[in-house]
Amino acid sequence: MASEQLEQFEGAATIEKVASLCRRRGFVFPTSDIYGGLGSSFDFGHYGVLLNDNVKAEWRRSMIQERDDVVALDSAIILNPQVWVASGHVDTFSDPLVDCRTCKLRFRADQLELASCGKRPSKHPGEYSECDLTEPRAFNLMFETYVGALRDDASIAYLRPETAQGIFVNFKNVTSSMRVKPPFGIAQIGKSFRNEITPGNFLFRMREFEQMEMEFFVPPPDAEEWHRYWIDRRHSWHLDLGLRTSHLRIRAHEAEELSHYARATSDIEYLYPIGWQELEGVANRGDYDLRQHTEASGTTLEWVGHEERYVPYVIEPAISVVRSTLAFLCDAYDEEVVAERPRTVLRLHPRLAPVKVAVLPLIGKDAAMTEKARSLYEELRKTMSAEYDDAAAIGKRYRRQDEIGTPWAVTIDEQTIADGTVTLRDRDTLAQERIAIDGVRQLLVDRLG
Amino acid sequence: MASEQLEQFEGAATIEKVASLCRRRGFVFPTSDIYGGLGSSFDFGHYGVLLNDNVKAEWRRSMIQERDDVVALDSAIILNPQVWVASGHVDTFSDPLVDCRTCKLRFRADQLELASCGKRPSKHPGEYSECDLTEPRAFNLMFETYVGALRDDASIAYLRPETAQGIFVNFKNVTSSMRVKPPFGIAQIGKSFRNEITPGNFLFRMREFEQMEMEFFVPPPDAEEWHRYWIDRRHSWHLDLGLRTSHLRIRAHEAEELSHYARATSDIEYLYPIGWQELEGVANRGDYDLRQHTEASGTTLEWVGHEERYVPYVIEPAISVVRSTLAFLCDAYDEEVVAERPRTVLRLHPRLAPVKVAVLPLIGKDAAMTEKARSLYEELRKTMSAEYDDAAAIGKRYRRQDEIGTPWAVTIDEQTIADGTVTLRDRDTLAQERIAIDGVRQLLVDRLG
């Protein structure tokens, strides 16, 4: 690169740069792209899977494993359709749509500035008047399907638009089989589906997406206090895993933007390259859901203690895995010039990094070095995600690992053969320390915490 | 229990006993049961989620993390519908069904012995002649839905019936972004959906189920050798995690039972309480899928090396998470009488056990014991799934942990306060060793391997 190019290189993350890195380095691919794709749907490649898995593991660790008041659940994606009648989704989970009588396309009535008639395209963006539009109609966002051999109203079913309802309908199963009492939570990770009309912005809004939701059941008088507690806990989780304080803010919903079930909601917003957007919502759902299912099913969903009986309120922190992953990627993305050479680096928290350590023989054709390197690599991969790489110049191999966010690289060189030490390179500081090869595994285990 | 009851107690696992334990102890619940359920669909409770997660983690460790020739993938559930035309699923993935003109019910033509007319039920099972049956018609097993605002032939889409096709259509994405060359594999864990008409047998056949599939791409001349290799590797995996040798067998498919894409398939069968059934299939799919997608998409899916170019053959080990979990549960289920008291115990491999260790103060009301116990518990749960329990007599608390398969229990007693040692109880041998409280964590980490 010429020097003026190098100066331009060091820039902030954009959605395009992050998407390009993700495609090039095997994090994310457009779904079914050899068949022209499918709108707003993505497949995750090797490093994307490992990164998503780490995000989920950290959520599980913080929300379930390190607490004794939260249990796990994994409910089906296709539930009995009555669940969605009772929850209000069949009636109200919809966007207002208008049809164009000329081109037959549909648009969101609340986003007409994005509309453009397919047969008489406007020369000026935003001039949707050339479309011949119908009145808005409500369009339900749930995907429908049919269960069983018959296809009629009785066999209709829905792909869940949220995992939360699977938790509410299991309230009695959980309280009768587990040693729990309010305040306690039920946590679930799983796919949800929303048939959105105008999704977009890379991973930000997808038609199928994995959610991490936890419903925390509390005595009603304590609900506001627990609401504040969970907003604070979830905010800390994002910070602890490396998001910048200046890129996070908390915004309470105005009364008119609250969902039909919510008494109060605060969004934890992240400053994505496209602007401030919801990263996680923390809602006080009151007793809405348990009461709805009690009424619709005839099964009383309430807490029965020794001397008390009540319908708990529910505090719900809910986040999409991929929206979380996208925030971590954007925050970690960095470009810098080191020794007059550009490097792109993902400064991911080590616990989130897809690969923890790369093992590199300095000279890829040196039998003694490669043997020692293979042996160390095979030891390390039993405990953590590791890579072995003996192809290309060492600088190029370091850059490869920087781009996928690998926090540490171990290099085996001539001195290793002589005295059993290796260099440990730090992704962020580029510092290299010399340590004994026998101590590498324990050192990394300790640093990972 | 009276002594004659105790004698009857010690029995083999049955599906009913395993299902009853799973329901009682919060492993598995029927889906949406407050609304009357949904056929052959289940939700997983706390211990079920932890157990399934451990099964998946062991598969990932063995198939991806500890190898450098397999990469991960996570493709969408709803793919471009052309994928399923090319794969042959739209045309051929069906069961033959017949209708009864009297009761309007549908039955599988190849399982008419299970049919019974809803309006004129036979007095003798198997006498389906009272039904007035139509000729068999093919009924496709894929769930259909519509993507986007319009509902027409152009917007029809399918829930994937297998994860494998998501791998094949990403062949080029993976080979162009990752450092791989044949022989190499792409592995995926995810939900698949089959609209089966007569599912049943608890977890054995479910309409939505998680699969663990790996497609291993090899030079065609090496396909048979790799097929044998993967049958052997997968067989060992089940054994290493504790399934009994006598409960596993390998059965090669006859020519007439092969799927349309398969050159050869061997099932690893497990002796479930309902008899020998497929646990895992290992197929040689040849070059069928890559050629089909090349033809249908116009994108050439082949391996291009420095001096060679060919369409690889594919070896596919494919297993359902829950069918694997069910085998582990059935194999681990045991009833025995110890000191004239019955106990039910899940002898799960420690790596699979939902909870690794229970920390129990001998006297739940003793402040010194509970303080030490809480402190140890809070240290242990940072590294592994742990439980703290101070309620009920110690024998009852041991039994609780036996039923969910917890391999170790640590008891804090008076001697702990005096000399800092605890007892470590082994689930299987019931042996109790006295060890230093400071060494508990490392000892368990070492035993977990």
CATH code where residue B377 lies:
3.40.50.800
**Coil/strand/helix, residue A414:** helix
The answer, for A87 touching chain B at a CB cutoff of 8 Å, is: no
- Domain for residue B152, yes or no? yes
Contact state of A381 with B106 under an 8 Å Cβ cutoff = no
Cα R_g (chain B), whole angstroms: 26
Spell out which residues of chain A touch residue B149, defining contact as CB-CB under 8 Å: 97, 106, 139, 195, 197
End-to-end CA distance of chain A: 39
- What is the rounded distance in angstroms from the CA atom of residue A210 to the CA atom of residue A195? 14
Question: Concatenated DSSP letters for A306-327?
Answer: SS-EE--EEEEEEEEHHHHHHH
**Within-domain flag for B348:** no
Q: Which helix (H) or strand (E) holds A158?
A: strand A156-158
Is A191 near chain B, with CB under 8 Å?
yes
- Here the tokens at position B41 are 């669909």
CB-based contact B149 A197, cutoff 8 Å: yes
Residues in chain B: 449
pLDDT value of residue B105: 72
Amino acid found at B437: I
- CB of B38 within 8 Å of any CB in chain A? yes
A160 shares a domain with A106: no
**Sign of the four-CA dihedral B180, B185, B190, B196:** positive
- 3-state SS track over chain B: CCHHHHHHHCCCCCHHHHHHHHHHCCCEEECCHHHCCCCCCEEECHHHHHHHHHHHHHHHHHHHHCCCCEEEEECCCECCCHHHHHCCHHHHCEEEEEEECCCCCEEEHHHHHHCCCCCCCCCCCCCHHHCCECCCEEEECCCEEECCCCCCHHHEEEECCCCHHHHHCCHHHHHHHCCCCCCEEEEEEEEEECCCCCCECHHHECCEEEEEEEEEEECHHHHHHHHHHHHHHHHHHHHHCCCCHHHEEEEECCHHHCCCCCCEEEEEEEEECCEEEEEEEEEEEECHHHHHHHHHHCCCCCEECCCCEECCEEEEEEEEHHHHHHHHHHHHEEEEEECCEEEEEECCCCCCCCCCEEEEECCCCCHHHHHHHHHHHHHHCCCCCEEECCCCCHHHHHHHHHHHCCCEEEEECHHHHHHCEEEEEECCCCCEEEEEHHHHHHHHHHHHC
Longest pairwise C-alpha distance within chain B: 80
Residues A14 and A35 in one domain: yes
A 10 A CB-CB count for B435 gives: 13
Q: How many CB atoms lie within 10 A of CB A263?
A: 16
Same domain, B103 and B80: no
Compute the count of residue pairs across chains A and B with CB atoms less than 8 Å apart: 224
The answer to whether position B296 is within a domain reads yes
Report the DSSP beta bridge partners of residue A179: none
Which of B46, B77, B207 lies closest to A191 in CB terms? B77
Q: Do A41 and B78 touch (CB under 8 A)?
A: yes
Q: Splitting chain B (449 residues) into consecutive groups of 10 residues, what average pLDDT does each group show? A: 55 89 96 90 97 98 97 97 96 85 76 62 54 82 89 89 98 96 98 83 89 98 98 98 97 90 94 95 98 97 94 98 97 92 95 98 97 98 97 95 98 97 97 97 95
Query: Edge to edge, what strands does the sheet with A408-412 contain?
Result: A386-388, A357-361, A408-412, A421-426, A432-436
Answer yes or no: do B312 and B394 share one domain: no
pLDDT at res. A150: 74
Quick one: pLDDT at residue B123? 52
Return the bridge partners of A313, or none: A218
DSSP letters for A251-285:
EEPPGGGS-TT-SEEEEEEEEETTEEEEEEEEEEE
Are the beta carbons of B360 and B412 closer than 8 angstroms? yes
Amino acid symbol at B211? Q
The pLDDT of residue B127 is 54
Interchain pair A197, B148: CB under 8 A: yes
Contact criterion met (CB < 8 Å) for A77 and B388: no
Measured between beta carbons, the chain B residues lying within 8 angstroms of A66 are 381-382
Whether A157 and A51 map to the same domain: the answer is yes
Cα A399 to Cα A50, A108, A347, A409, distances in angstroms:
19, 44, 13, 11
Residues B105 and B204 in one domain: no
**Contact status of A33 with chain B (Cβ, < 8 Å):** yes
Q: Are B104 and B146 members of one domain?
A: no
In a mutational test of the A interface, the residue from B28, B34, B382 whose CB has the highest number of chain A CBs within 10 Å is B34
* Preferred mutation among A24, A35, A446 to probe B, highest tally of B CBs within 10 A: A35
Judge contact between B158 and B84, C-beta under 8 A: yes
Q: Determine the pLDDT at residue B1.
A: 47
Nearest to B78 among A170, A173, A208 (CB): A208
The answer to whether the beta carbons of residues B343 and B311 sit under 8 Å apart is: no
Cβ separation of B49 and A72 shorter than 8 Å?
yes
**Confidence (pLDDT) at B199:** 58
Q: Does A170 touch chain B (CB under 8 A)?
A: yes
- The answer to whether residue A53 is domain-embedded is yes
Tokens of A295: 């009424």
Q: What is the pTM of this model?
A: 0.94
| Whether B134 and B164 share a structural domain | no
Do B131 and B218 lie in a common domain? Answer: no
Query: Given an 8 Å threshold on Cβ–Cβ distance, is A45 in contact with B177?
Result: yes
A209, containing H or E segment: strand A208-218
List the single best residue of B33, B44, B46, B357 to mutate versus A (max A Cβ within 10 A).
Answer: B46
CB A102 within 8 A of CB A120: yes
Nearest chain B Cα distance for residue A245, angstroms = 25
CB B331 within 8 A of CB B243: yes
Residue type, B410: V
Residues A368 and A380 in one domain: yes
Query: Between B15-24 and B321-332, two packed helices, what is the crossing angle to 10 degrees?
Result: 100
Indicate whether A171 belongs to any domain: yes
**What's the confidence (pLDDT) of residue A1?**
47
Q: Using CB atoms and an 8 Å cut-off, which of residues 111-130 of chain A contact chain B?
A: none
Q: How far is B80 from chain A (nearest CA, A)?
A: 6
Report the pLDDT value the prediction gives residue B7, as an integer from 0 to 100: 55
Distance from CA of B385 to the nearest CA of A (A): 6
CB contact under 8 A, B170 and A48: no
Task: Using a CB–CB cutoff of 8 Å, tell me whether B178 touches chain A.
Answer: yes
* Residue A266 burial (10 A CB sphere; 0-12, 13-18, 19+): buried
Tokens of B175: 């080979």
Contacts of A255 (CB under 8 A, 6+ apart): none
What are the beta bridge partners of residue B352? none
Pick B32's closest partner by Cβ from A68, A72, A169.
A169
Q: B252 to chain A nearest CA, in Å? A: 32
Residues 341 through 370 of chain B touching chain A, CB cutoff 8 Å: none
CA quadruple B24, B30, B34, B39: dihedral sign: negative
Mutation target to probe the A interface, by most A beta carbons within 10 A, among B43, B103, B198, B291 is B43
Rounded Cα–Cα distance for residues A431 and A369 (Å) = 22
Lateral strand order in the sheet of B106-108: B106-108, B94-99, B137-140
> What kind and span of H or E run contains A8?
helix A3-9
CATH number of the domain at B312, please: 3.30.930.10
Contacts of B38 in chain A (CB under 8 A): 76, 78-80, 147, 157
In a domain, A3, yes or no: no
A157 to chain B: which residues are within 8 Å by CB? 38
CA distance B54 to chain A (A): 12
B41 closest CB neighbour out of A65, A78, A197: A78
Residue that terminates a domain, selected from B291, B315, B330:
B330
Answer whether residue A89 is part of any domain.
no
Boundary-marking domain end, from A297, A313, A330: A330
Sign of CA dihedral B110, B112, B114, B119: positive
Tell me if B343 is assigned to some domain.
no
Q: Please report residues of A whose CB lies closer than 8 A to that of B297.
A: 34-35
Q: Which of A406, A398, A431, A302 is nearest to A347 (CA)?
A: A406
Gap between the Cα atoms of B97 and A350, Å rounded = 54
Residues 199 to 218 of B: which have CB under 8 A from any A CB? 207-208
Element (H, E) at A423: strand A421-426
- Output the pLDDT for position B347: 98
Best CA proximity match to A205, nearest among A189, A187, A188, A192: A192
The reply to whether residue B34 touches residue A172, judged by beta carbons under 8 angstroms, is: yes
Residues of B in contact with A141 (CB under 8 A): none
Helix (H, G, I), strand (E, B) or coil at A191: strand
Answer whether B315's CB lies under 8 Å from B282's CB: yes
For A247, which DSSP code? G
Our count of domains for chain A comes to: 3
Q: What is the DSSP string of A43-84?
A: EE-HHHHHHHHHHHHHHHIIIIIT-SSEEE-B--SB--THHH
- Residue of chain A whose alpha carbon sits nearest to that of B300: A34
Query: In this complex, which of A34, A48, A145 lies closest to B299 when CB atoms are compared?
Result: A34
Q: Which of A35, A50, A148 sits opposite B82 (nearest CB)?
A: A35
Compute the residue count for chain A. 449
Residues A305 and A374 in one domain: no
Q: Is B375 in CB contact (< 8 Å) with chain A?
A: no
Measure the CA–CA gap between B412 and A290, rounded to whole angstroms: 40
DSSP secondary structure string for all residues of A347-400: ---TTT-S-SEEEEESSTT-HHHHHHHHHHHHHHTTTS-EEE--SS-HHHHHHH
Q: Do A38 and B106 touch (CB under 8 A)?
A: no
A419 in contact with B, Cβ within 8 Å = no
Q: pLDDT truncated to tens, each residue of chain A (449 aa)?
A: 455 555 555 667 899 999 999 999 999 999 999 999 888 889 999 999 999 999 999 999 999 999 999 999 999 999 999 999 999 999 989 888 887 777 777 777 877 766 655 555 555 555 555 677 888 888 899 999 999 877 778 889 999 999 999 999 999 999 999 999 999 999 999 999 999 876 567 888 899 999 999 999 999 999 999 999 999 999 999 999 999 999 999 999 998 888 888 899 999 999 999 999 999 999 999 999 999 999 999 999 999 998 899 999 999 999 999 999 999 999 999 999 988 888 999 999 999 999 999 999 999 999 999 999 999 999 999 999 999 999 999 999 999 999 999 999 999 999 999 999 999 999 999 999 999 999 999 999 999 98
Question: How distant is the Cα of A327 from the closest Cα of chain B, in angstroms?
Answer: 19
Nearest to A159 among B41, B106, B145 (CB): B145
Would the CB atoms of A80 and B38 count as touching at under 8 Å? yes
Same domain, A58 and A131: no
**Could you tell me if B177 lies within 8 Å of chain A, comparing CB atoms?**
yes
* Chain B CB contacts of A34 below 8 Å: 169, 172, 293, 297-299, 301
Backbone φ and ψ of B311, nearest 5°: -95, 115
Angle at A200 between CA B293 and CA B156, to 5 degrees: 45
**Beta-carbon contacts of residue B176 (< 8 Å; ≥ 6 apart):** none
d(CA A280, CA A250) in angstroms, rounded, equals 10
Burial of B215 (0-12, 13-18, 19+ CB in 10 A): buried
| Amino acid making up residue B23 | R
Out of B26, B385, B389, closest to residue A65 by CB: B385
Report yes or no: B155 at the A interface, CB cutoff 8 Å. Answer: no
Q: Structural domain of residue B108, as residue ranges? A: 94-112+125-140
- Residue in chain B nearest A68 by alpha carbon: B387
Which helix (H) or strand (E) covers residue A408, if one does?
strand A408-412
If one counts every other C-beta atom within 10 angstroms of the C-beta of residue A27, the result is: 28
Tens-digit pLDDT profile for residues A102-143:
777 777 787 776 665 555 555 555 555 567 788 888 889 999
Cβ–Cβ gap B191/A191 under 8 Å: yes
